[in-house]
Chain A
Amino acid sequence: MRRVLERVLAALHILEDSLLVGLLAALIGIAVTQIVMRNGFDSGFLWADSMLRVLVLWIGMIGALVASRNQRHISIDIAGKYLPVTAAKVVTIFNALFTVVVCFLLAKYSFEFVKIEYESPSMAFANVPTWVCESVMPVTFGLIAVRYLVVAVLTPWRALVQEPAST
C-alpha cells in the first residue's frame, strides 16, 4: 500500500514538473514567434497575446502548487526560528491547518466563479472557452489544500527538518 502511494506521489510530481516546464517552454516559444511574425512579416496570431497571458496564470498556479510540496511559500517566519521542537511542531500543524482552510475556501469560491462562466460561456482565445482557463484555480487550490493537510497529519511523526526557505 505504502509503495503504491509513493509511486502515485512520484508520478504526480513528475506530471507537475513536466507541466510547469512545458508551459514555460510554450510561453517562450510563442512569445518569440509572435515577435518574429510581427516585426519580420507584419503579421501574427490573433490568439497569441491572450493565450500568453493565460499561460502566465497557469505557470503561477502550478508553480505555487509545486512550491507547496515542501512549503516553500513566502511567510513571515519570526517565531519559528526560536521555538523548541514541540512548540514548533504545534505551530507547523496550526499553520498547515490554517492554510488548508483558506485554500479550501479559495477552491470552493473560484469553482463557483468557474461555474458561472461555464453557464454563460465566452471565448478566452481561439476556440478555448474562458472557464477552461479559469479551472486551473479551483484545481490547484484544492491540491494545495490536500498537500497542507498531509503536512498537518504527518508532522507529529516527523522530525522537523527545516532548511532556511529561500524565496
Chain B
Amino acid sequence: MMLLLACLLFVAAALGAPLFAVIAGVAMLGFQSMDTPLAVMGIELYRIVDTPILLALPLFTFAGYLLGESKTSARLVRLTQSMIGWMPGGLAIVAFLTCAFFTAFTGASGVTIVALGALLYPALKQAGYQERFSLGLVTTSGSLGLLLPPSLPLILYAVIAQQLPDGSGITIQDIFKAGLLPALVMVLFLSLYGFWETRKHPVPLKKFNGAEVKAALWEAKWEIPLPIVVLGGIYGGFFAVSEAAAVTALYVIIVECFVYREISLRKLPEIMRDSMIMVGAVLLILGVSLALTNWLIEAEVPTRLFEFLKTHIDSRFTFLLLLNLFLLVLGCLLDIFSALVIMIPLLLPVAVGFGVDPVHLGIVFLANMQIGYCTPPVGMNLFMASYRFNKPITELYWATLPFIAVLFAAVLVITYVPWLSLVFLGR
C-alpha cells in the first residue's frame, strides 16, 4: 500500500502536479509510516511564523515587481551606458551589470528579461553586435545576479539551511557576503567573453561623454540611494534584513508612485496582488518542505545517504565534481525554488560530511541552478525570451550555448575556490 502511494506521488510529480501537493504528499506518507499523528503537518506549516527572516520575502518581492513595472530599467541602462559604454565590448558589459543588479532585486523571476531584455536586445543589435550574440546575452543575463543580495533564492537558502542541525549557525548576513565575489566572477567571465566577441566582430566605439553621465545621474537620482541604503544598511549592521526590506518597499512605492509617477495608484493593488501570488506559491512550497525536512531528519535519510556515498566517493574534490554534474541535470528539470527546498535538506548534511562549508555549498548550489535557467527543457529564461522576442526556442538554445559554457567555467571556479565565497566570513 505504502509503495503504491509512493509510486502515485512519483507519477504525479512527473506529470506536472503542483509541487507543493507532491511534497506534502511525501511528507504525510513519511510521517504516517513512522506512526506520527498527521496533525504534525499543521504544526510544521505554522513554523513559517517562527522564521523572522521570511518577513523579507514578501517585501523584497513586492519592491522588485514594482521596479520591474516602472522605468527604472531604462534609467539604469542609460546610467551604466554613459559610464562604461565607451569601453570595447562596453554595451555587453553594461548589459551584464544592469541585469545582475536588477535581478538581485527582482529575484530572478523572469522580470529581468521582460524589463531589461526588451531594452538591451534592440540596443545591442543597433550598436552592431551580432544577432545571435545579442539574443544569447539577454537570455542568459536574465538570471545573472542571483548571488547578489537581496535576491530571493539567497534568503531561501539561509532559511532552509537554518532548519538543519549542520547549518543552524548560518546567518543571512553570511550568505549575503558570500555571494559577492562569485557573482563578480560570473560577470567578469561573461564580460571577457563579450570583449572577445567584439574583437572577432568589431563594433564601432562610442566616445565618453561627461555631460551625458551627469544627465543620467540626475535622472536616476532617486533610485541611486536604493542599493546604498539596502546594502550599506545590511552590511554596515544598521538594519536587520527584514527592516531593510520594509524600508525598501516603502521607498520604492514613494519613488515610483509619487516622485516619478510611473505607476498610478490604481495599478498599485494589481502589482501588489501579482507579487504576492508568487510569494504564496513559494511560501507554500517552503512550508510543506519544512515538514518534509523534519521527516527526513527523523528518518535519518541524509545520514544514510552520506554513509552510502562515502563508500563510493573518497574525496571532497570528487564529491564537488559529482555535485556540479548532478546540479546541472537537476537545474534542467527543477526550478530554483523547488530545487532548493527539496535538495538542500539532503545535500547539506552530506556536503558537510565531505568537509564542504555549508555557506560555500549554498553559493555552489545557486550558481549551478542559475545555469539551469537557460537549459532545456524547462529553463525559464528560454521561455521568457522566446515569448518576449518572438523567437523559436530552438534558436535560443543555440544562441545561449556559448554563454552557458562561459557560465559553467565560472561555476567551476566558484566551486573549487571556496575562498571566493568564504573570504568575507572570516573562516
Contacts and interface: CB of A to CB of B under 8 A. Distances in A.
B251 to A, nearest CB: 10
Contact of A78 (B52, B239, B377): B377
B67 to A, nearest CB: 15
Contact of B380 (A65, A99, A105, A167): A167
Most buried by B among A49, A81, A98, A111: A98
B237 to A, nearest CB: 13
Contacts of A23: 276
Interface string B333-362: 111011000000000000000000000000
Contact of B59 (A17, A28, A72): A28
A155 interface: no
Contacts of A91: 15-16
A5 B337 CA distance: 36
Q: Which 3 A-B pairs have the closest CB atoms?
A: A63-B280, A113-B42, A60-B283
Given A28-B59, A59-B276, A137 B46 contact: yes
Given A76-B16, A78-B377, A112-B42, A64 B48 contact: no
Interface string B250-270: 100100000000000000010
A134 to B, nearest CB: 6
B24 A102 contact: yes
A43 B249 CA distance: 22
24 contacts: A28-B62, A28-B253, A31-B55, A53-B48, A53-B49, A56-B48, A56-B55, A56-B283, A59-B279, A67-B280, A74-B338, A76-B13, A76-B378, A80-B16, A81-B377, A105-B28, A106-B41, A110-B41, A110-B42, A113-B46, A137-B46, A166-B110, A167-B109, A167-B337
A102 B387 contact: no
B127 interface: no
A71 B18 contact: yes
Interface string B375-395: 001101001100100000000
Most buried by B among A50, A54, A75: A75
A77 B380 CA distance: 11
Contact of A167 (B40, B49, B250, B335): B335
A44 to B, nearest CB: 12
Most buried by A among B18, B242, B243, B253: B18
A46 interface: no
Interface residues of A, number: 63
A110 to B, nearest CB: 4
A8 interface: no
Contact of A65 (B8, B272, B280): B280
B16 A79 contact: yes
Interface string B14-35: 1111111110110010000000
B117 to A, nearest CB: 14
Nearest to A25: B272
Interface string A151-167: 00000000000001011
Contacts of B383: 164
